[in-house]
Amino acid sequence: MSLKSLVAKILGKKNSKRVKKLLGYNQGNAAQKKFPGSEKYWDQRYKKNKNSGAGSYGRLAEFKAEIINEFVQKNRIETIIEYGSGDGNQLKLANYPNYVGFDVSDTALELCRQEFEGDTTKNFFHMEDPEQITRRAQLTMSLDVLYHLVEDEVFNGYMTRLFNSSDRFVMIYSSNYEKEMADHVRSRKFTDWVDSNMNGSWKLKEFIKNKFPFSEDQPDTTSISDFYIYEKQ
């Protein structure tokens, strides 16, 4: 007997649908579609008119904006790079002197360019744009991105660029433990990667616990992420 059949037999038809959803089954299909990879997954997601996720909206977005805006002002940050700019909704709450957003999705980038058209303080580029590969900033950021980089090669390349392109600070908003949650969600203990690969050139300056820690009862208004702010030594 398959797992889905066993679930349905034990819990009944109504409850089994909820459990299958939590397990990651596609409703109406016997098997899950093959995961296309991080880059294709997100571009397909935006093409289907889906947004960056609950973390970029509502009270979670406001919490992130409060922390980041205060840090930028306090440390007199002039230039910022964000790797994984998404649909731009989080950016609407930002107060940055000069911002560059990178993303793997052309669809998301076009959304941002349309949303912030005429704003000369904001620019958006594809992660693989060869003319932007050497761009640097005083602060580089990764917000709700790391646990979506399920492939080791993609994760390693992303982390290397995140740190190597910063002159002063790196801000990461993510979970920090090892757990595979879904095809497109893999939490990593990224602080171990920093310790092993940055050769002591970066120090964890500040850790800020999430104001709304994750709760299964409120998955859309709570988060698994916390703030980790590194300073260059």
- pLDDT tens digit sequence for 44-87: 888 887 788 888 999 999 999 999 999 999 999 999 999 999 99
Average per-residue pLDDT for the chain: 88
- pLDDT of 18 > 50? The answer is no
**Angle made by CA atoms 11, 16, 20, in degrees to the nearest 5:** 140
Q: What is the pTM of this model?
A: 0.84
- pLDDT of 23 > 60? The answer is no
What is the torsional sign of CA 34, 160, 144, 112?
negative
- pLDDT of 2 > 50? The answer is no
Range(s) within the chain of domains with CATH label 3.40.50.150? 38-232
- pLDDT of 34 > 90? The answer is no
- pLDDT of 145 > 50? The answer is yes
pLDDT digits (tens, 9 = 90+) for 125-141: 999 999 999 999 999 99
Helix (H, G, I), strand (E, B) or coil at 148: helix
- pLDDT of 155 > 80? The answer is yes
**Which tokens hold the place of 34?**
């093959």
Q: 173 near 143, Cβ under 8 Å?
A: yes
What pLDDT, on a 0 to 100 scale, did the predictor assign at position 33? 59
Q: Which CATH architecture has domain 38-232?
A: 3-Layer(aba) Sandwich (3.40)
Q: What's the distance, CA 210 to chain centroid?
A: 15
Q: What's the distance, CA 224 to chain centroid?
A: 11
